[in-house]
Structure formats: structure tokens, C-alpha cells
Structure 1
Amino acid sequence: MIDRTLLALRQIPRILSIAGTDPTGGAGIQADLKSIAANGGYGMAVVSALVAQNTRGVRSVHIPPIAFLREQLNAVSDDVTIDAVKIGMLAQLDVITEVRDWLSRCRPPLVVLDPVMVATSGDRLLDPAAEQALRDLILQVDLVTPNVPELAILLGERPAANWAEALEQGKRLSDSTGATVLVKGGHLNETSCPDALVNTNGRLAQSVVEVALPRIRTTNTHGTGCSLSSAMATVQARTGDWAQSLAEVKDWLQDALAHADELGVGQGNGPIHHFHRLFADSAGTSPIPAGSAAFSSTPTFSSTLWRDVELTRLQIFDLPFITDLGSGTLAEEDFSYYLAQDALYLGTYASVLARASELAPTASAQCFLADSAARCRDVELELHRSWLGQQPEPSEAGPVTTGYLEHLLAAGAAGNYAVLLAALLPCFWLYANVGDRLHAAYLSRTETAAHPYAAWLETYSDEEFAAATKQAIALTDDVAATASNAERAAMRQAFATSARFELDFFDAPRQLVRA
């Protein structure tokens, strides 16, 4: 491991990418340069391989003469001070040897290796005879960023079947090489998409630093690995803190994936949208679609939260409970079970709102959250009691209710106001969204029969609740503006977790029947 103690942080770091090409611009050096620029660096490039590929796969690879590779490397390092190096596709043994020798001579202060071995398309991008040389190269780098198949190849093992197995493989690779390993969950079939820095040699504050965000449902992921590794090199050269760098890069990459479908590049797996934030700033518009009770006309942190849970929101409106509630055909026993559980939920939710009021940094936020807690106790719970009538209130919370409340109580106990506010927000925002849509459908009904659930629809679509939702969103944006990158990532995770619980809460009556 090269000594990096002399790493000098720069506001605009100079980053060299050594990698192959992609003529469609989504991966390789083209993606690296976009990623470096998007994350505030100055990008430079040395071509290690010329690749004929597109969004559907690799057609052929041409390796320039090794002497020309050496001339490129020397031309850059003889003239420019390099703050960090990102290494991508090396393809064959003599290329790896040349790059290793250049690293030994030039001793760049920071090196990130993306061990390009297997493309997402399944194409092999490294000569099998060069695999051991690539393993040896890891001894000279600070961070290695393999995907799940590549991590297995580096260890000579079978690919991990789940996140826990992937973390254990990351620990074994770190233990054997001394490098920090960025274990990536993108190839795993799980609801969230975690990434984790792993180092078993004491180079991190903790041996595992994990950041998990909701999985973005898109097929346009071409170049994600290239972009992630070059972004990590860039941000680390600015911050010097791996955990902070991962939080910042993960936040950027999440948005790049969320906006990937807007590009419309290629007929296969298209690229991510590296400059999504620049485009949004230039347009001066919010990426959130219209139709909710509280949207801003300019890009905000809350707009990111709303995009994060797009799939969850769609799933909510597909639930039989919601469609039947809107049409008025929902079985009364299902609605009664839902309200009974909601009554149990609201009592604790009110106490967590009160806890947020205690933590709030301003008098206006304190008053709003305290008033919201009172509304839960006085207005919403009274609606539930009047509906339930003479039925005894339930004494036992169902599993979804219990899980949701444990999530909120844990956020309150942790004492981080920003994260707690994000965890509380879906109960405002998703209810307002559901109430708006169902109430609009109710008003458009042509039949004269009274809607059996009109009181519920009116409570969650009235102007007072809409105003409260807007204020809760505004408070979240205010606190996010001064939060650290790590806090913002935690806020996104807390919001997404609560949103998922909202989905499960609406589906709980049907789950109970099926059980």
C-alpha cells in the first residue's frame, strides 16, 4: 500500500482516468469525465483500450501499443500535478504491468481501482490470464470498487447471494490486500440498494460504513460502476473523508439513476444522467410531477425524497384497499381494522411529533410540530373513535403497526432532528396525496348514493391538512439545507423506510385476511 499521508485536499481536484472507451458515451472514460466534472473535479484521460460497444453490449476490443500507453501516462504526469487516479478497464496483463510500474514511479496521492472484469451485459472485459495481476494491483490502491461478480472473481469464490454474504466477501478482500473495498449492492435483487465501505485494517472509523437508499427501478444503468468509482476519487480528493465521500456520491448517483430515463439514449441499457442537477438548475423546474398537495416550483431536497419513493407511491394506488376505498366498495370490516390500527398508531405518532417539537431549532417549528401532535390526539383520533363507535379500541398493534412505530421511536430516541423530521414526513405527505386523489374521484362521482367513507376522505384532503403538509415539507427542506451529506443520506433512508411502512399499513387488512 502506497503511503497517502501527503494527500492535499483541493476544491477542484485534478483527476486522471485510466480506462477504456465507450463510443456511446455512457461508460468508460466518457462516463468518467462526466462523473468527475459533475462532482467538481477537472478530468484527464489516458486510454487503455478502444472498445466498440453500445448500450446492448461489447462488440470488440482493441489494445493500443503498450509504448503508446506509456507515452500517454508520462505526458500527463510530466506536466500536471495529479490529485487522484481512477483506474478502469485494463484488459490484459501487459497493460496492468505498465500501469503498476507507472504508479510506482509517480506515486499519486490517491488511487481508486474499478476492477473491470465483467460488464453488466455479461461480456468478459479482462483476459483470464491477467486476473492474478489485477489482484496484485489492489495492493497499490486505496479503494477498490468491484461489483458482486467481480468481487467473487477476485476472491476465487462464488458470487454472493445476498448483502450479508457480499459484506463478508468485502471483509476478506480487504483483509488480504489492505485496501478499502466498496461493496456494491446494485447487482443484488433487494428492495434497497446498499453500498458499504469495508476496511478490516483500521483505516476507517468503523470496519463497515454503509449507506443504503431505495433502489431506483430503471434499466438505464450503463456505466454506473465507472461513474461511481470516478466520483469517489473526485469527492475524496476534496473531502479526505471516505464516509463523507460515499454519502455525497451516493446522493448524486441516486439522482443520476432517477433521471436516467429522461435521456433516451440507445435501445439497450442506457446511461445514467450525470448532469441531471445542472439540467434541473438551468430549467429552474422541479422534477416532481404535479398532483400532490404540496409541490415546489424549484428543485428542492423534498423533490428528491418524492422521487425516491415513486415506485412506492405507484404501488399504494394499485392496492385493492385504496381502489376500493376510493370507489366506496371497501368492506367495512377492512376499514374498521385499518382505523383501529391507525388509532393505535396515531397515539404514538403524536408523542413522536412532540419529541420532534422538543428538538426543533426554531420557535415556529416547535409550535407547528406541537400543534400537529395535538391535531393527532384531538381531531384525527376523534374521527377514528366516532367511526368505531361502540366497538372496543384494539389493545394489540398488528406487526406492521408495531414495526412502523418502532422505526419512528428509534428515530426519536436517536435525537437527530433532521432524520426524525424526514421519518415523520410521509404520514403527512402520502396521506395528503392519497386524500387529494381519492377525494377528487369522490367529487366526480355521478351517482347520488352517499360515499360510506366520505368523512375520512374529507379529513385528509381539506385545506388545513394540505397547509400542514406544505409546512412539514418546508421544514424538511430548511433543515436539509444545513445538514451534512451523511445526514441527508440518513434523511432519505428514513423517509423511504416510513413510506414503505405506509404502503404496508394500507395493505395490512388484506394481509390479515390472507393470513
Structure 2
Amino acid sequence: MARTEAIEGATAEVTEATVLDTAQQARQAPEPEYAPSALPRPVPRVLSIAGTDPTGGAGIQADLKSIAAHGGYGMAAVTALVAQNTCGVRSVHTPPADFLAEQLRAVSDDVAIDAVKIGMLGDTPAILAVKTWLEQTRPPIVVLDPVMVATSNDRLLRPEAEDALRGLLPLVDLVTPNLPELAALLEVPVAGSWAQALEQGRELSRRHGLKVLVKGGHLQGADSPDALVDAAAGPGQDVVELSAPRVDTVNTHGTGCSLSAAVATVQARTLDWTLTLRQVKHWLTGALERSGELEVGRGHGPIHHFHHLQPADHPAQGFSQELWRQTAGVREDILALPFIRELAAGTLAEEHFGYYLAQDARYLNSYSRVLARASALAPTEAEQLFWAKGAHQCLEVEAELHRSWLAGREVPGGQGPVTKQYVDHLLAIAGNGSYGELVAAVVPCYWLYAHVGEQLQAGPAAADQDHPYAAWLQTYADESFAEATRQAVAIMDAAAAAETAAGRQRMRTAFEQSCRYELDFFDAPRVYA
């Protein structure tokens, strides 16, 4: 109970009246200049409300790393100053709750907050201060990591503080307890099996009207399951389970902090809890697998928050990054093609561009059907909508661009041999392959076109208003297309995480074959026009 005593002994005495007085001051503060957004944010503004860790592996320091690792802008309000390292907690100093409230107001009076992650709160006055602020501010996304029970099963909060923490739950979108904390929130014994843990998650979700991330890290077994539980979704749809091989490592310091901060950040970008969980679980598995590279501390070391940004010859490296590196030669060959160089310069012969557009129009007709098939196989509603939107975009936007240019021009008719080979490749996978294999096959059409468009848009000819192919260049260098590409790549990573080793190998093969067909497709006008 040493950690409990440290927290209780170091906690400053702050009355509830002080917190209420602080809340009164908050109501008199000026309105924020910017309102929080309910739309997806490319760079989410995420506030962490938690304690500190001077070694950087847990608490606010870990939260800020997780937020940054997922493309967010991190902010922090400190609830407690903790003297700890990878071996344990030495002491805790809790600032007055009115100072915590002042920090929260300082942020929300000025910055539009897209998501909030709440971690260690420590005592009742701090919890009440956060509750008052949430009631006044109503951030779009709130994720609570209920720091109640240590790994040693020591209770970290007094009973009255636990009751106050339960009072936060109606203001929260998602709670991410470990199994002892899940039991503490329900005031029942700790679940001894995954089935029992899921039922406790359902009960907590029903009782408080929120989503629960049930984590199986405390259980035994070769796999480490997680589940998103939402009782409001109804029978058969109230549990979405994901599993990954259990990582054999002692470096688990700050895992719960990092996970919850990552979920808050990614959810602000996707607005889809299932897709968010798939992405974050894949990232966390890699962060655990590569944690040994950090060599931080003598106890339970931290996870590797930025493993996906640092190449390594290791099976935990990001699946998409691995494929991108393996196909670097194809991209170099594409950019070196006469068709691409002349297109960039605006000197490409009309008959070559016309052949390319005519073949692309035929390709897009089949590609849209392949995307529709991906939508039918997709495991989440967000992915279904994404691929369906892509299919619509092929037929309505891109095809119209082609028809407008081709109108009144004579171009070779019929489907060219490269187009047929590429389409046959995609249709074969759509008919017989897995969802992951199909996603890997269609992503190069997003990723390589976005890459080519980015490279061409960066050239001097892109600024030329009289460039004959400006409309095409702008279409593939458009930010909305770049964002769609990022989403497609993220979906591919999530699909790879759900595949077996053999399934991921089939995905690699499908991706590499599609990249080769893209190279041939760009070169076809020179050969066949």
C-alpha cells in the first residue's frame, strides 16, 4: 500500500467549497474565441489531464508522446507531480484543485479542444474540478483512463474518491479500465476469464451509457484480446473484439496512459471508434514489440511510442511502411518514365495523354466495382462508407474529368493489354481473396497516384495557369485525395493486423503486383498509343 499512502499523505487538503468557488469564477470567464469542432480533424487538438512521470514513460509525458505519434497537437493540465521511475513511485505532490481548474480554464478559454484524455486525478477535489469543467466545456470526445488500482492490486483512491470518479462517467464517451479497475468501477470481484470481463464491460456500459474498452492484458494466454463494448448497440453488435499475439516484454510502463491518449487522438481524426481501436491496437503491439530498443530504466521500461516512424529490420515495423520501402524502386521508375516527365513539363503529346485517359476510364469502371466489393467485405461501417465513397468518386468525378477532355478527340478504342492485365489481377482478388488482400491490391492506385501528384505539383510547371494538363495534376495533388490516401493506408495497416502471417504475405504480394501494374500502366501510352 506504499503508493496509496504516498498519494494520500501528499495530497493537499482542499474543500469542495473551494472547487465550487473556482467553478463560479469559470462561469464568469470570457467565452472561448474558437468553438470545438465536431468534424474529423487532420491535426487534432488533444488535452491530457493527468499526473507526471519524470522518466517520461507514463502520465502526461507518455500522453504527449502518444498524441504526437498519431499526428495530434498535445496539451496538458497537471493533476499531480509524481516522483517515480521505472521501478516504482516514491512520492506524490497534489497541487490545489483550484489551480487545476485554473489550468483547465486557461486552455479552453483560448483553444478549441477536439479531444480530452483523463488519467490520474488522485483525490476528490481534483475529480470535482474536472467534472465541473467538463460540464461547462463539453468537449466533443472524452476518454477516461480510470487510475484506481496499481499493477500490484493496491487501491490508489480512497472510497469517497472512487465514488466521485464514478460521477464522471456520464460525461465520458469511452472508459479504458484494466480488469481490476473495471471490477472497482462496478464494485465486484475481478473477472477471472475473458467472457466474464466482457459481461462486466456490458454492465458498466449499460449502467452509465458509455462505451467501454475491455482490455485482456491481465489475463493469461498466448493472445492479448481487447474489445469495444457498447450496450446501446444491441445484441450481436454490442461487442467488437480484436486480438493480437501477447508480447513477451517487461516494458509495460505507461501502457494504459499511452493507449487512452492514442485512442482520443485517433478518434478525433476518424470519428469511428472501431476503426480507431484497430489502428491503435496495431500501433501499441508494435510499441511493445520494439520497446527493448529504448533501454530506459532498470524496472518496467516504457513502450516505444515512435517505433512506426523509425525504420528497423524487425517484424513489428509498420506494415505499410515496410511495403513502401520495398516498392521504392517502382516509384523511382515511374517518376523516370518519359510519360511522367513530359506530363510534368506540359510537353506530352496529346495522343499519348488521350490514350492514357481512355484506358484509365476503362480501368476506373472496373476499379469502382472492386472498391464496391471491398465495401461489401469491410468489417466496419466506416470502412464500408469509405470504399463506397471511393467507388462513387471513380464513376462521378474522375470519369467525368476524363470524358470532358476526351470529348471530340479521336483516341484508340478498346481495352489495352496492360489495362486488361491490371483489371484481371484486381477482379481475381476481389472474387477469391480476403479483405486484407483486396485492400492491399487497391491501395497502390491511391498511394502511387498521390505520390506522383505530389511530385508533379512541386515542380515549376504546376504554377503555370496555361499548363495543358493542369486539371489532372490538381486532382491527384488535392488535399482531399491525400487524406483519402492516408485513410486507405491506415485501413490497410489495420487489415494487416487482423491477418495471419500467411495472410500478410498474400497482402504483400497483392500490393507489389499492383505497383508493377501501375508502372506498366503509366508506360503503356509510349508502347501502344
Q: TM-score, normalised by structure 1?
A: 0.59
Change (3 A) 1:203 1:68: farther
Q: Is the 8 A contact 1:21 1:28 kept in 2?
A: yes
Q: 1:498 to 1:106 in 2, by over 3 A?
A: closer
User: Counterpart amino acid of 1:300?
Assistant: E
Q: How far did 1:187 drift?
A: 1.3
Contact 1:264–1:270 under 8 Å retained in 2: yes
CA distance in 1, matches of 2:42, 2:439: 31
Alignment correspondent of 1:114: 145
1:10 aligns with 2:41: yes
Aligned residue for 1:201, secondary structure, equals helix
- CA-to-aligned-CA distance 1:247-301 (integer Å, 9 cap, x gap): 1111111111111011111111100000112222xxxx53359xxxxx99x9515
- Three-state SS of the structure 2 residue aligned to 1:494 is coil
Q: Distance in 2 between matches of 1:91 and 1:5?
A: 28
Q: Deviations over 1:56-78 (max 9, x none)?
A: 11122211011211111111111
1:494 equivalent in alignment to 2:525: no
Task: Find the aligned partners of 2:211 and 2:432 in 1 and give their Cα distance.
Answer: 28
Identity within the alignment, %: 57
Are residues 1:151 and 2:182 paired?
yes
Deviation at 1:203, TM superposition (A): 8.9
Partner in structure 1 of residue 64 of structure 2 = 33
Instruction: Say if 2:434 is the partner of 1:416.
Output: yes
> How many Å apart are 1:493 and its aligned residue?
3.2
Deviation of the 1:131 alpha carbon: 0.8
Is the 2:37–2:112 contact (alpha carbons within 8 Å) kept by the matching residues of 1?
no
Q: Which amino acid aligns with 1:254?
A: T
Structure-2 change in CA distance of 1:482 and 1:80 (3 Å): closer
**1:58–1:123 CA contact under 8 A, matched in 2:** no
Q: d(CA) in 2 for partners of 1:129 and 1:48? A: 18
For the pair 1:65 / 2:96, whether they are aligned, the reply is: yes
The answer to whether the 8 Å contact 2:176/2:212 transfers is yes
Q: 1:362 to 1:183 in 2, by over 3 A?
A: farther
Q: Cα distance 1:75–1:167, how it changes in 2: closer, same or farther (>3 A)?
A: same
Aligned residue runs from structure 1 range 287-436, under 5 A: 287-288=314-315, 299-300=321-322, 363=421, 416-419=434-437
Which among 138, 145, 161 is matched to residue 130 of structure 1? 161
Pick from 44, 62, 69 the counterpart of residue 75 of structure 2.
Answer: 44
Task: Determine which of 217, 221, 234 is the counterpart of 2:248.
Answer: 217
Describe the shift of the 1:172–1:33 C-alpha distance in structure 2 as closer, same or farther (beyond 3 A).
Answer: same
Pair 1:225–1:149, CA change in 2 (3 A): same
Structure 1 partner of 2:296: 265
2:222 is matched with: 191
**Structure 1 residues 268 and 362: alpha-carbon distance in aligned structure 2, compared to 1, 3 A threshold:** farther
Change (3 A) 1:272 1:156: same
Asked if the contact 2:36–2:139 (Cα under 8 Å) also holds between the matched residues in 1, the reply is no
Taking structure 2 as the reference length, the TM-score comes to: 0.57
1:25-67 CA-partner distances (Å, limit 9, x unpaired):
0000000000000001000000001111111111222110112
Change (3 A) 1:484 1:247: farther
Query: 1:455-491, CA deviations, whole angstroms, 9 ceiling, x for partnerless residues?
Result: xxxxxxxxxxxxxxxxxxxxxxxxx999564554343
Query: Structure 2 unaligned runs (5+)?
Result: 1-34, 327-376, 378-418, 441-484, 505-529
Distance 1:482 1:141, change over 3 A: closer
Residue 78, structure 1, aligned to residue 109, structure 2: yes
Q: 1:92–1:412: structure 2 CA closer, same or farther, 3 Å change rule? A: same
Aligned residue number for residue 213 of structure 2: 182
d(CA) in 2 for partners of 1:362, 1:213:
38
Q: 8 Å contact 2:36–2:112 — kept in the other structure?
A: no
In the alignment, the residues of structure 2 paired with residue 234 and residue 172 of structure 1 have an alpha-carbon distance, to the nearest angstrom, of 26
One-letter amino acid matched to 1:286: D
- Does residue 282 of structure 2 align to residue 251 of structure 1? yes
| C-alpha separation in 2, matches of 1:179 and 1:367 | 44
Over the residues paired in the alignment, what is the CA RMSD in angstroms? 3.6
Matched to 1:268, the amino acid is: G
Counterpart residue identity of residue 37, structure 1: A
Structure 1 gap segments, 5+ residues each: 290-294, 305-358, 371-410, 423-479, 500-515
Name the aligned partner's letter for residue 493 of structure 1.
A
Judge conservation of contact 2:435–2:495 (CA < 8 Å) in 1. Answer: no
Alpha-carbon distance in structure 1 between the residues aligned to 2:92 and 2:139:
28
**Contact 1:17–1:46 at 8 Å: present in 2 too?**
yes
Deviation at 1:140, TM superposition (A): 0.7
Q: 1:80 offset after TM fit, Å?
A: 0.8
2:437·2:503 contact (CA, 8 Å) conserved in 1?
Answer: no
Contact 1:287 1:303 (C-alpha < 8 Å) held by counterparts: no
Residue aligned with 2:253, SS: coil
